[in-house]
Amino acid sequence: MSERPLPGAGPPEKRLPVTMERIRSGATPARRVAGRLLKPPPSPFPYTSPTWPDSVPRPPAPRELGVDYDTDWARRYPARVARLLLTELVAKPMVAVLADPHVAGEDRIAHLDGPVVFAANHASHIDTPLLLSVLPEPWRHRTVVAGAADYFFDTKLKAAVLALSINAIPIERRRVSRTSANRAAALLQEGWSLLIFPEGGRSPDGWGQSHQPGAAWLAARTGRAIVPVHVEGTRSILPRHSGRIRPGTTHVTFGRPLQPSSGDNPRDLAAKLEAAVSALADEHDTDWWTARQRAARGTSPGLTGPSGAGTWRRTWALGAPTRRSASTRRWPKP
């Protein structure tokens, strides 16, 4: 039995898809509004970055902090002029009032020409502005400061302030990073000197810490001389983990430069540097002749303090922290 079509039913009407052309062809206002609503917005490209396809994985975002922070802008002419004014008009007068620096040994480096590596012991945040204010010319305004990448370059604001004010560059403290080492070596080759603290951080208890080989490695790689520097008295002005500043007197002693050779082992050179800084501390404690005799015998008192002693013993041997000076050390000297 064949199916009969229903009365009045004709062939099914062919419905065309809704397109922008069919909507625009209509004359009713409703269709015009619908056309405007369905019209895709104009692409903002090339005024904005293009969209990223969902099917393509995104590469990791480039790092902009830590050892990857770019400090080249801080050595351009406007930044250098601003830093010179800041150093001469603000930092030097403040250091003179708070630290009253006494400098010795400048004659030992007067013959040097070109960039060098200044390596100093580290006990306080005052060390950096103090050294930058007493460095003799021509190094005072041609020196970059090695700053801990994980401490001073962890935020953009802190990194920018330090790069502008003290010409800091990020350096890994506990290992030789290829990025930071290449940057420091390139700056030395370009004529910039480097101020670095080989201990890797401020002293936790007033005694010195063993030197890391980073400064020696840079000197051996670039062939630049290392100038040992001993700083005394800054811990009493601003100790670690303290926000209170107590004005006092400081002493900065420059030692004879250590000239690396191509065959030097960085760790052996670091040991020589540590011994040279210890000899400068002994010179400040006693006198030049006594310190030289003990340095020649290899019996200069070490800055690291009594080994194997407890915290109370090391504190007692160092002396009262509020009256920190070389003469208050109670640890017996050879």
Concatenating the DSSP letter of every residue in 7-61 gives TT--SPP-PPPP-HHHHHH--SHHHHHHHHHHSPPPP-TTSSPPPPPTTSPPPPP
Comparison of pLDDT for 324 and 257, the residue scoring more = 257
Comparison of pLDDT for 332 and 220, the residue scoring more = 220
Q: Tell me: the pLDDT tens digits for 15-53?
A: 656 565 655 555 566 666 666 666 666 666 667 777 777
3-state secondary structure of 272: helix
Q: What is the percentage of the chain residues whose pLDDT exceeds 70? A: 75
Q: DSSP state, 305?
A: -
Prior bond of 138 cis (ω within 30°): yes
Structure tokens at 63: 């790092």
For residue 334, what pLDDT band results from cuts at 50, 70 and 90?
very low
Q: Is the pLDDT of residue 249 over 50?
A: yes
pLDDT score, position 20:
57
Structure tokens at 310: 């407890």
Which region among 125-134, 147-156, 251-260, 314-323 has the lowest average model confidence (pLDDT)?
314-323
* Average pLDDT of the segment spanning 256-284: 87
pLDDT score, position 178:
79
Q: Tell me: the pLDDT tens digits for 141-150?
A: 999 999 988 8
Q: How many CA atoms lie within 13 A of 10 on its CB side?
A: 2
pLDDT score, position 35:
63
* Average pLDDT of the segment spanning 45-70: 76
Comparison of pLDDT for 254 and 24, the residue scoring more = 254
* Average pLDDT of the segment spanning 189-217: 84
pLDDT score, position 211:
81
Distance of alpha carbon 149 from alpha carbon 222, whole angstroms: 22
pLDDT score, position 1:
53
Q: Are strands 168-171 and 193-196 parallel, antiparallel or unpaired?
A: unpaired
Distance of alpha carbon 176 from alpha carbon 293, whole angstroms: 34
pLDDT score, position 57:
79
Q: Tell me: the pLDDT tens digits for 81-132?
A: 999 999 999 999 999 999 999 999 999 999 998 899 999 998 889 999 999 9
- Alpha carbon of 319 to those of 207, 289, 315, 322, 329: distances in Å? 11, 25, 6, 9, 5
For residue 328, what pLDDT band results from cuts at 50, 70 and 90?
very low
* Average pLDDT of the segment spanning 280-306: 84
Q: Which residues pair with 253 in a beta bridge?
A: 104, 230
pLDDT score, position 164:
94
pLDDT score, position 329:
45
Q: Homologous superfamily of 66-299 in CATH?
A: Glycerol-3-phosphate (1)-acyltransferase (3.40.1130.10)
Domain ranges, ordered by start, for the chain:
66-299
pLDDT score, position 65:
80
